[in-house]
Amino acid sequence: MVSPESMADIAHLNGMRLPARGEHFLRIDSESALVDALSWAADRDVAITVLGEGSNTVMHPLVQGLVLEMAIPGLKVMDDDGTRLLVRAAAGENWHSFVLWAAERGFHGLENLALIPGTVGAAPVQNIGAYGFELASRVRSVYCYDRVLEEFKTLSAADCHFGYRDSIFKRTDGAHYIIVAVDFELDRNAIPVVTYPELKQALGQRPYGAVEILEEVVNLRRAKLPDPANLPNVGSFFKNPAVPLPVAESMKVNWPLMPQYPSAGETVKLSAAWMIDYLGWRDATHEGAIGIYRDHALIMVNHGAGSAAGVLNLATKIMQSVENEFQIALEIEPSLIGLPAA
Ligand code: EPU
């Protein structure tokens, strides 16, 4: 096998472009390379960190152990009955390129998730979601490597325990799975999901189908969210907190302008962006180079020379101010690698 690189510069593999090195680093482009890398790490008893493009991660300046960049390519139609398709996308494929590949072939169902940064393999970890739609609703199964049983294994969508920005892959009971590919159920005649008010408004009165939805989602994201290639960021930095119905009711009385959204079970999601904006954090620069984006209070950005410590300091300050004003505990959304939870 190819030897891992020592003290590799992996700053390009974290969305905030913070200075970062991997103690040992390998780019994995096949299933057999993955198995070889894991046995290399087992022989030396070093920890493993698995990354896609790192677009939703904040990492310590030195990631200990073996860092794997999952770059296995491949897009394949596994089954096609003329109406429904089963498509397998390998972990290393870029997510947005896959969405475009599918849409160009008339394989629909993923349009609302266009332009989300990152890889296919990272998408199930936080069950990516946008514009009223979550990845989970199109996942048939996730093909993984099980590090305990030392074998490849297929997890059904139910096995993945998908939730709002959550799955088994984020939790300790799923930490032994490495995602190798994802199987999606797509449709030639998908019913468009246009529940998100902003998307509905953007589409207006004109007739629309999957192509128009994809275009509008791309337009909305480009207009509202900074391009990580120009202004490093990890998308939403906090989750929208879900609270019980009675709490949501009393919040509505005290803060009638705060948007609330339907959520799972007897809960309602509150707008973290609105709360952070209300408290005056938008367009602020803190800790030297780390700040909050001018046009969206839920996006933390690195203006150039930011550090992981600066990111966590600002996150803590924001969380404290939200807690003080609203008695709401915000939860950090990106994965923290080698860092304590703020
Ligand atoms: N708002 C403010 N100030 C701001 C920004 C927003 O008051 O600076 C208020 C506005 O009222 C706006 C509302 O917050 O209508 C909601 O904003 P937005 O539509 O941008 O949605 P969000 O709740 O901030 C969520 C997801 C995004 C996803 C959008 C669209 C989470 C944590 N974030 O953001 O996902 O793109 O909805 O569906 O659920 C991501 O996960 O990285 C991400 C970008």
226: CA distance to ligand 1 center in Å? 13
Predicted local distance difference test score (pLDDT) of residue 190? 84
The β-bridge partners of 6 are: 24
* Residue 17 falls in the annotated catalytic set: no
* Pocket perturbation via mutation, ligand 1, pick of 298, 301, 322, 326 by most ligand atoms within 8 A of CB: 298
Q: How far is CA 137 from the centre of its chain?
A: 16
Predicted local distance difference test score (pLDDT) of residue 341? 77
Predicted local distance difference test score (pLDDT) of residue 222? 96
Give the active site residue among 165, 167, 216, 221.
165
- Give long-range contacts, CB 8 A cutoff, 24+ apart: 225-231: 225/293, 225/296, 225/299, 226/293, 226/295, 226/296, 226/299, 226/301, 228/15, 228/55, 228/117, 231/293, 231/301, 231/302, 231/303
Task: Count Cβ neighbours within 10 Å for each residue of 54-89 and write b for 16 or more, e otherwise.
Answer: bbbbbbbeebebbbbbbbbeebeeeeeeeeebbbbb
Nearest alpha carbon, ligand 1 atom 23: 271
80: CA distance to ligand 1 center in Å? 36
Q: Which atom of ligand 1 is nearest to the CA of 234?
A: 42
Predicted local distance difference test score (pLDDT) of residue 1? 75
* Residue 165 falls in the annotated catalytic set: yes
298: CA distance to ligand 1 center in Å? 7
Low-confidence ranges of the chain (pLDDT < 50): none
pLDDT of 112-143, one tens digit each?
A: 999 999 999 999 999 999 999 999 999 999 99
Predicted local distance difference test score (pLDDT) of residue 273? 98
Q: 241 — phi, psi (to 5°)?
A: -70, 135
How many CB atoms lie under 10 A from the CB of residue 159? 16
228: CA distance to ligand 1 center in Å? 16
* Residue 236 falls in the annotated catalytic set: yes
Predicted local distance difference test score (pLDDT) of residue 198? 93
